[in-house]
Amino acid sequence: MESFEADDGHVIVRLDRGDLALESIETACDEHDVDTGAVVTGIGTFSNLNIHYVDRTDLPDDQADRNVDLQLEGAWEVTDINGVIADGEPHLHVTAFDGERTVGGHLEDGCEINVLGEVTIRKIDGLELERRPGERNVSQLRQR
């Protein structure tokens, strides 16, 4: 992984074969002091895909009861990674295709880059956000 920062604060992250996507994005946020920002674009290929998604409308208080975790092997073409960074922590979603199906959800740790990855982070100055549990234990953005 290597990252580059522009004069306007945008950070470009290059992910190489074997890098872990979310973990590398978190490292780039630390290295470039991204407290509040957005991942505005991300593409690449994964050799495995770890995501979760909500499959219920009744939202039980326990998150484990409302999330479906998927750990998918094989080559995945990533068509988009995006989300918000609050208090230095990315909350990202991903869409990917394996040649037969398209899946999407919350990006989890352990997604290994197969060929390459490219991510653009935009810092947002003058705003400090964090996530706090809200109704039904749903993580909500709040201003610090």
Q: Which residue stretches of the chain have pLDDT < 50? A: none
CATH entry, 2-143, from 3.30.1330.80, 3.90.1150.150, 3.40.50.300, 3.30.70.1140: 3.30.1330.80
User: What is the pTM assigned to this prediction?
Assistant: 0.94
pLDDT (0 to 100) of residue 57: 80
Compute the distance between CA of residue 65 and CA of residue 125 in angstroms, rounded to an integer: 37
Q: Cα torsion at 140, 123, 23, 106 (round to 10°)?
A: 40
Q: Identify the pLDDT of residue 3.
A: 98
Provide the 8-state DSSP code for 58.
S
Q: Which residues contact 125 (CB under 8 A, 6 or more apart)?
A: 9
pLDDT of residue 127: 97
Where exactly are the structural domains of the chain?
A: 2-143
pLDDT at 64: 66
* Dist CA 95 CA 90 (whole Å): 16
Q: What is the pLDDT of residue 124?
A: 97
